[in-house]
Amino acid sequence: MQNNPEERELQLQKRLERVHAMEQELRQKERALKARERAKKQILLRLSPSLWDEIAAWAEEDFRSINSQIEYLLTECVRQHRKKQ
């Protein structure tokens, strides 16, 4: 038996409220993830002058800062390591 239009309207309204609640929850989770990504850790890194020069030249070729190049290289190494496991 089909629901009457008022019952159907009420069901749709409840479903819409659930969807809005889920969207809000997703937005909050997304904001939390973005905040966590922005909160980067700082480290002291000592490099030999020759390694520094190599990374600096590579960074320039890739149009990155030296810091971004080091972060990129570390990220790629972690990805490769995960693939091996």
Which is more confident, 81 or 2?
81
Domain ranges, residue 47: 42-85
pLDDT bucket at 82, cuts 50 / 70 / 90:
very high
Q: How far apart are CA 35 and CA 41, in angstroms?
A: 13
Contact 55, 66 (CB under 8 A): yes
Q: Answer yes or no: do 77 and 49 share one domain.
A: yes
Q: In the predicted model, is pLDDT for residue 2 greater than 80?
A: no
How far CA 64 is from CA of 4, 25, 42, 57, 59, in Å, comes to 63, 35, 18, 10, 5
Q: Answer yes or no: do 12 and 23 share one domain.
A: yes
Q: Answer yes or no: do 31 and 47 share one domain.
A: no
Question: CATH number, domain at 82?
Answer: 1.10.1220
Q: Answer yes or no: do 53 and 84 share one domain.
A: yes
Q: Answer yes or no: do 83 and 54 share one domain.
A: yes
Number of domains forming the structure of the chain:
2
pLDDT in tens, 24-81: 999 999 999 888 888 888 899 999 999 999 999 999 999 999 999 999 999 999 999 9
Whether the full predicted model's pTM is greater than 0.75, yes or no, is: no
pLDDT attached to residue 35: 87
Q: What are the backbone dihedrals phi and psi of residue 71, each rounded to the nearest 5 degrees, phi first?
A: -60, -40
How far CA 11 is from CA of 4, 33, 63, 79, in Å, comes to 11, 33, 55, 46
Q: Answer yes or no: do 49 and 22 share one domain.
A: no
